[in-house]
Structure 1
Amino acid sequence: MKTSALGRIALAAGVAALTTGVLPTTAHAEGSKVERKTLLVMVEFSDASFLDADAVKASTPDTYFGTKKDSLASFFTEVSRGQYTTVPAVEEGVVGPITLPMTAAGCDYNQINKLTQEALSTRGLVRDEDYESLSVVFPAQKTGCAWAGLGSVPGPYTWINLHGTAGGLGVVGHEFGHNLGLGHQGRSMCTDGDLVDCTTDGTSAKSLMGGGGPAAGFSAPEMIRAGWLSGSEAVKVDASGTYTLRSLHGEGSGTRALDIPMGEDRLVVEYRHAAGTLDADIEGVHAYRVPKDAYGSSSLIDMTEANKTAGNDASADADAITAVTDTASKVSVAVVSSGDGKAVVQVALDGEKLSAGTATTETATPHPEHTGTDTDAGDGNGEADGTEAKSGGSVPAEGSASTASGNGSSADLAATGGSAATVPLAAAGAALVAAGGVALVVMRRRKRA
């Protein structure tokens, strides 16, 4: 394995990801409508307090539950098309600040969680009875945390290491994405045109979990993982043929993703086009490798040298595919046409030949579609007080399972961002592994058939 220059930059920044194990395929039952009761808690330490606790208490509930377009509740309502949102577990929206009997140094998130739950129980607030998710916000001063946010993958816990007096959707939404079972979404560089020999380097920029920020929403494999695409919307391809895709986040009915068998893995194909507040800077057909049905651990397949990110000036469809081949599993995909809200895609299985014809792209300036939801989500850059919210890492990530619940249960964790001095992952573009602060660029190679 080799660590790229970008990987070394990310290592120096001290941004980490902690994930282990294989995630379940779906987070909850398909078609269910979920209102996740979230308890937001402000905590302080014996030697560190919020610079302005009143300002934090006034602004933070709105970041989570407000009706503004860049709140967590609005974002999840839009991206799930009304199937999922967060609601406050207490009428006032937030509990605290509570002073924990511990010092800030060392960033001991396990102890923070344990002592917070103990303090809540004395107030009559018990997890799984009074709340389903617990989000702890604490002042960054003196903690030494290398991240701006941390979330269990999957699980009920998030920690927000707050710089200043206001958090952003980019960090909070990213950590709640981890709670849904979503890892950091990386980018597989397959520039020789065949998926048997790809290098994972950088982030997808097609998801809040891959450096794209809230304006990118989630990708198709992540939507499948979350249970937000019905069976008719995410078609499991079992025969060669021609398929029409509508935009992933657009209104109306139709096929939004193709889920194609590819050896032990899956190949998920989507069409992205501006819709509501999402995908203004994403266009075209994109493909993802899903390792062994772990839809929360997908990586974008990039056949180009463009390596588009949320921060560069590459065109919206710079890394869209026109054709993909995996000679190992004898699968081929070709884009017949793409643009203005729909795409036509050919799929060939078992070594069958694609139909004659050249893939074409009908690219035009994207015209936003409405999502058909009552609440708009944020376009938000999620930046607050020097914290870069558009961060992500790469899959697979490796490391030791961490005990995050404070009650002895094991949970996988993923971290986002850092202090004002942290280089954003959207810029660093490296796969990160939080095992003693080691950053790795993961090389994925498969034997040719």
Structure 2
Amino acid sequence: MARTDLLPTRSGRRPLGRRAVALAAATAATALVGAPFAVPAAAEPGPEKTDRHAVVLVNFRNASLSDAKVVHEKAVQQLFKAKDSVAAYYAANSGQRLAVVPAQGDGVFGPFDIDVDKSKCDPGKIADLAAKAMPADVKYDHMSIVMPGDNACGWWGLGSQPGPTTWFQEGAINGDDTTAALHEFGHNMGFAHEGRELCPVGQFTGCSGDGTSHITPMGGGGSHKGLSAPELIGRHWLSPDRIVSPKTSTTVHLTPLHAPAAAGGTRAVDIPFGTDGDRLVLDYRAVAPNSLDTDIENPGVFVFRVDKGNYSAAVNLRNTTEDKNKMFGSFTGTAPMTDLTHHISLTYDKMTPDGIDVTIDLAHQGAQPGTATTATTATTATTATATAGASRSADAATNPVTTTPRPTPSAKSSEFGDAPEVLNATKPPVKAASHSASPSEKGSQLAATGGSVLVPTLIGTAFLGAGAVLVLRRRRQVRHRRH
């Protein structure tokens, strides 16, 4: 079972916390208005990868898009032209390594009439028919399908993870908020929902689920937050000279992860954790002007556990429940975060809008988990220079993390590696939000509040947290070409 859950994508931004407001004022942070995102890492000349993207508008047999011309224009903006479009957002996060471009013309095709009933939610059939309707001369790498209505399916947006297809109900695209588009394309890139776990004091394992991280679109963070350090590392979108992997206790000065490239500095710490290929990753998130991060609510150092080197499914750690008036990233005040079994202590000092000093004690001594401890700031740390260029394993495309055996699909591997495609759904932003109910044991029925939606192409379902992960048979993508 992939480490994902159903994650609502919502319009609108969350209000800034008091410290975020203070930091924003200190750095003269402003919303992005007519300016491109600042690149967080040194950009390389030209994109390493060009993604030809096709947006396909479809009408059902008994339902049509409300206004095809308006939807067409909104799709062009959301995918390619808006200041926080999919193209702009992923170019900035990748350090200009990924260029999302229209497959042909303005990138939007249709609407095409396909033989699907509006009451049936069959993503596989919709994708097949949409692909068949496309002009034969259009070559594309990814396809986004926009369908009529807001209630045809139990989800607002859907994305194969990793894979070539995203699906959107009309309301998710027919607006100005790009959150749904950013989120679902992230699934295509291999990103899982970024969860958060509440850990017992003195432990980084044996933790319990605590929702989502809220610091990336993949963790319910919206379109005004950049990707997290593990997500960037997993895609090799953070330059090696911006990552340190200390082998001994040290103090590292972290620059805000999404500060402009000209600011220089180390952006992430990536260290081994245990002997099973797990890692700990640290980054510093703060509001930065004209950047990807203009809505960080709890500026500070965030700590992630990366199980078995799967950076694309990292979990954010904390050892106390959320209190926006007290939290600084993963920390409560200046209290250290420790893992006593692995002899690790993490503390910070001198937090400013421009950077923060993080002390990493890799020889911490303290009481074992389960006993009372009042660990203070580590005194064994030195200021030795950290070793740059962490050794990193492949991302989720080649090293998927599972917590229980995953249903075995009849399909072959996806274009991104050996992991089968997984459909990750986001719920519509309704007034009375509710979780999806359990699918049937056969996996052919997805029950949701307000009715059941038949999904005959789903071959396996499983729970994690508040939602469900849907595994889709690999369907032949007509004229689809691999990267």
User: Common fold, TM-score beyond 0.5?
Assistant: yes
Tell me the distance in 2 between the aligned counterparts of 1:172 and 1:228. Answer: 20
Aligned match of 1:385: none
Shift of 1:401: 6.4
What does 1:237-252 correspond to in 2, within 5 Å? 237-251=246-260, 252=262
Aligned twin of 1:100: 114
Determine which structure has more spread, i.e. the larger CA radius of gyration.
2
Q: What does 1:34-433 align with in structure 2 at a 5 Å threshold?
A: 34-66=49-81, 68-120=82-134, 123-125=135-137, 130-140=139-149, 143=152, 145-163=153-171, 166-167=174-175, 168-251=177-260, 252=262, 253-263=264-274, 264=276, 265-275=278-288, 276-282=290-296, 283-306=299-322, 308=324, 314=325, 317=328, 319-320=330-331, 322=334, 323-351=336-364, 355-356=378-379, 400=407, 410-418=420-428, 420-421=430-431, 423=433
The superposition leaves residues 364-411 of structure 1 with CA deviations (integer Å, 9 ceiling, x where unpaired) of xxxxxxxxxxxxxxxxxxxxxxxxxxxxxx996986467899x99941
Could you tell me whether the CA contact under 8 Å between 2:156 and 2:172 is conserved in 1?
no
Report which structure shows greater RCO (CA 8 Å, sep ≥6).
1
Query: Aligned to 2:219, what secondary structure does the other structure show?
Result: coil
1:175-209 CA distances to partner (integer Å, 9 max, x unpaired)? 01111111001111125242233211211011111
- Amino acid paired to 1:162: E
Change (3 A) 1:47 1:404: farther
Paired residues of 1:151 and 1:159 also in contact (CA < 8 A) = yes
> TM-score, normalized by length of structure 2?
0.67
CA spacing shift, 1:396–1:182, aligned 2, 3 Å: farther
CA 1:174/1:116 → structure 2, altered by over 3 Å: closer, same or farther?
same
In structure 2, stretches of 5+ residues that fail to align are 11-42, 367-376, 382-400, 448-461, 467-483
Instruction: Tell me if structure 1 keeps the 8 A contact 2:243–2:266.
Output: yes
Provide the aligned length of Structure 1 versus Structure 2: 366
TM-score computed with the length of structure 1 as normaliser: 0.72
Give the C-alpha shift of residue 219 in structure 1: 0.7
- CA drift of 1:76 comes to 1.9
After superposition, the Cα gap between the structure-2 partners of 1:141 and 1:339, relative to the gap in structure 1 and judged at 3 Å, is: closer
Q: Does 1:441 align with 2:454?
A: no
Structure 1 pair 324/420, CA: closer, same or farther in 2 (3 Å)?
A: same
1:105-161 superposed Cα distances (whole Å, 9 cap, x missing partner): 2210001111111222xx2146xxx11111111113562x11111111112211111
1:82-119 deviation digits (Å, cap 9, x = unpaired):
23231100113211001112223221000111111122
- 1:234 Cα offset (Å): 2.0
Tell me the secondary structure at the aligned position of residue 413 of structure 1: strand
Structure 2 letter corresponding to 1:172: A
SS across alignment from 1:163: helix
Letter in 1 for 2:430: A
1:433 Cα offset (Å)? 9.6
Letter in 2 for 1:85: A
Match for 2:174: what amino acid? A
Q: Contact (CA 8 Å) 1:72, 1:169: kept in 2 or not?
A: yes
Distance 2:240 2:172 in 1: 44
CA contact (8 A) 1:188 1:301 kept: yes
Counterpart CA distance in 1 for 2:267 and 2:182 is: 23
CA–CA distance in 2 between the matches of 1:220 and 1:433? 34
CA distance in 1, matches of 2:310, 2:129: 33
Q: Describe the superposition over 1:326-372 as per-residue Cα deviations: whole angstroms up to 9, x where unpaired.
A: 223222222133222111112222557975299xxxxxxxxxxxxxx
Q: What does the per-residue CA deviation read over 1:241-276, in whole Å, with 9 as the maximum and x for residues that have no partner?
A: 221111100023221000111112211000111122
Q: Give the 3 Å change call, closer, same or farther, for CA 207–153 of structure 1 in structure 2.
A: same
Structure 1: any 5+ residue segments left out of the alignment?
1-6, 16-29, 309-313, 359-393, 443-449
